[in-house]
Amino acid sequence: MDVKIYTDGAARGNPDGPGGYGAVLVYMDREGKIYKKEISAGYRKTTNNRMELMAVIRSLQELNRPCQVELYSDSKYVVDAFNQNWVSGWLKKGWKKSDGKPVKNIDLWKALLKAMAPHQVTFIWVKGHDGHVMNERCDALATSAADGENLLEDVPLTE
């Protein structure tokens, strides 16, 4: 099954202000019918990078069977982590960066690897705020969630 996922994260007063993520999942069945699902959530205190990661994690968790995924994000942090093999280097070094310092957001990187496991995921970078219709929609979902009520606590995810 081929799925396209578009994601974005937002944070007000980054770091440690309110934030949110938004994502749009798109699938076309064999008859050519298009299915679209939008997801989002807002958090009290977070960072933009955590929300970028949460958008990807929650999107992949929505899939109920192994899929071929094209994942579009305006986050170089997320896209480059895979396309430039940062993650594999971090794993080899015990979640340490090349400078020996610990990787930030390890809980989310681990959750992302787990969410990716059943799928074949290709990460594609898109320029943010550049008129890409789906990226703009994800940005609207993320910022609306960040500005919403009943914000969640951004607590570390456990394995």
Which residues participate in catalysis according to the annotation? 8-9, 52, 74, 129, 139
Radius of gyration for the alpha carbons in the chain, expressed in angstroms and rounded:
15
Say which amino acid occupies 149. Answer: E
What three-state secondary structure class fits 89?
A: helix
Q: How many Å apart are CA 113 and CA 78, to the nearest integer?
A: 12
- Tell me the residue ranges of DSSP E strands in the chain: 2-11, 17-28, 34-46, 68-73, 120-125
CA distances from 117 to 66, 110, 143 (A): 9, 11, 29
Residues in Cβ contact with 97 at an 8 Å cutoff, skipping those fewer than 6 apart:
90, 103
